[in-house]
Amino acid sequence: MLNHFRPAIVLFVLFTALTGLAYPLALTGIAHTLFPRQAGGSLIEKDGKVIGSSLIGQNFTGEQYFHGRPSATTDTDPNDSTKTVPAPYNAANSAGSNIGPTAKSLIDRVKDDTAKLKAENPNAPVPVDLVTTSASGIDPHVSPAAADFQVPRVAKARGLGEDAVRELVAQHTEGRTLGFIGEPVVNVLELNLALDAAAPVKTAPAAPAAPAADPATAPANPAAPAATEAGH
């Protein structure tokens, strides 16, 4: 009987070593040699620190930044572990909404988003990718049309000319893969980093510290005024 089992055991060990160890290690070594950045996760660094990946989108909401596509990813509700809460661009829970095209919740959400975008830029049609989620929920790209639609808002918030912002968009527009696969796209994270480098966001100056109270004139019970105010 052992003669029947020996070939099976030998083949099992051999192919486990080949396909489970040798093959993955060989491909990993080749990838790190030929494509070190891609094999390492296409990480993006700023000031020596990793701040993201060109393969994973991030949730930008400020008016001075270009925004990505809507995201349907969720996370566990911190107040109830049996429920979930919206968490846009949660890379640990990549997923689509799985809502059908006739669902009222989807239709209402798209209508609301479209109305907000039309108010932002009433002179241009709203690109479809600015109101529809991707299957992954972490798409790092938008179409050139979606980036161009946001130029007036970003230029105004940054105090830049629209032509200068459009030039940045053009510089960060990626063409079709191999010239014929897919569509041109713009990486939102990389574009926003270039925007920060070209025109850093101005932060409001800190409010001056309140002068220290004179011990001679300070109230005997400093908590009393606060309690009285809270009572009104």
Helix (H, G, I), strand (E, B), or coil: what is residue 5?
Answer: helix
Residues 138 and 111 in one domain: yes
Residues 14 and 26 in one domain: yes
Stated length of the chain? 232
Q: Is the pLDDT of residue 51 over 70?
A: yes
Query: Residue 146, class by beta-carbon neighbours within 10 Å (0-12 exposed, 13-18 middle, 19+ buried)?
Result: buried
What average pLDDT score do residues 158-163 get?
95
Report, in angstroms and rounded to the nearest whole number, the Rg of the chain calculated over CA atoms: 27
What does the block give as tokens for 57? Answer: 């989108």
**pLDDT score, position 203:** 58
Residue 214 lies in a domain: no
Residues 57 and 144 in one domain: yes
Residues 50 and 65 in one domain: yes
* Residue scoring higher pLDDT (169 or 216): 169
Residues 121 and 151 in one domain: yes
Provide the whole-model pTM.
0.76
Q: How confident is the prediction for the chain on average, in pLDDT?
A: 87
**pLDDT score, position 38:** 85
Residues 14 and 121 in one domain: no
Residue 226 lies in a domain: no
Residue 76 lies in a domain: no
Residues 124 and 170 in one domain: yes
* Residue scoring higher pLDDT (204 or 186): 186
Residues 17 and 118 in one domain: no
pLDDT tens per residue across span 57-102:
999 999 999 999 999 999 999 999 999 999 999 999 999 988 999 9
What does the block give as tokens for 27? Answer: 């491909």
**Enclosing domain of residue 28:** 9-39
Q: Parallel, antiparallel, or unpaired for β 49-53 and 43-46? A: antiparallel
Residue 84 lies in a domain: no
Residue 114 lies in a domain: yes
Closest CA to 131 of 60, 64, 57, 68: 68
Q: Give the lowest-confidence range in 3-17, 63-77, 79-93, 128-142.
A: 3-17
Please, which pLDDT band fits residue 230 given cuts at 50, 70 and 90? very low
Alpha-carbon separation of residue 35 from 44, 57, 75, 182 (angstroms): 15, 21, 33, 21
* Residue scoring higher pLDDT (215 or 25): 25
Residues 25 and 108 in one domain: no
Residue 208 lies in a domain: no
Q: What distance in Å separates the CA atoms of residue 186 and residue 142, rounded to the nearest whole number? A: 5
Tally of domains in the chain: 2
Residues 131 and 17 in one domain: no
What average pLDDT score do residues 27-52 get?
90
Residue 2 lies in a domain: no
Most confident of 33-37, 153-157, 202-206: 153-157
Residue 187 lies in a domain: yes
What average pLDDT score do residues 123-146 get?
96
Residues 16 and 106 in one domain: no
Residues 133 and 20 in one domain: no
Residues 6 or more apart whose CB falls under 8 angstroms from that of 90 comprise 71, 73, 74, 75, 137, 138
